[in-house]
């Protein structure tokens, strides 16, 4: 293999490595964007869950009265 062929081969390898690095960087950037989006969605879900929990607790509390009537103490004999 001549020196020129050897250098040409290395140049192709270096270019291939550069392309791999560029693609890897694109994937890293895309992944970071996806992670940010998921984090925002997770915060929104947690907030919605907190509201649902509060609403459910309020509903359960209203059901404790029994048909809308206040509980009366048991009759004493």
- Rounded to whole angstroms, how far apart are CA atoms 62 and 8? 81
> What pLDDT score does 3 carry?
94
Model-level pTM greater than 0.85? Answer: no
pLDDT (tens digit, 9 = 90+) per residue, 11-40? 999 999 999 999 999 999 999 999 999 999
User: What pLDDT score was predicted for residue 23?
Assistant: 98
Spatial contact of 40 and 32, defined as CB atoms under 8 Å apart: no
CA distances from 65 to 56, 60, 72 (A): 15, 10, 10
CA 1 distance to own-chain centroid: 54
Would you kindly state where each structural domain of the chain is located, as residue ranges?
Answer: 1-59
Residue 64's contacts (CB-CB under 8 Å, 6 or more residues apart) are 71
- Distance, in Å, from the CA atom of 37 to the CA atom of 40, rounded to the nearest integer, reads 5
């Amino acid at each position: 293999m001549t020196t020129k062929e050897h250098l040409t081969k290395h140049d192709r390898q270096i270019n291939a490595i550069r392309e791999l690095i560029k693609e890897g960087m694109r994937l890293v950037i895309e992944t970071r964007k996806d992670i940010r989006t998921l984090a925002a969605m997770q915060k929104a879900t947690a907030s919605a869950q907190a509201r649902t929990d509060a609403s459910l607790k309020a509903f359960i509390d209203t059901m404790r009265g029994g048909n809308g009537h206040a509980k009366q103490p048991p009759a004493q004999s």
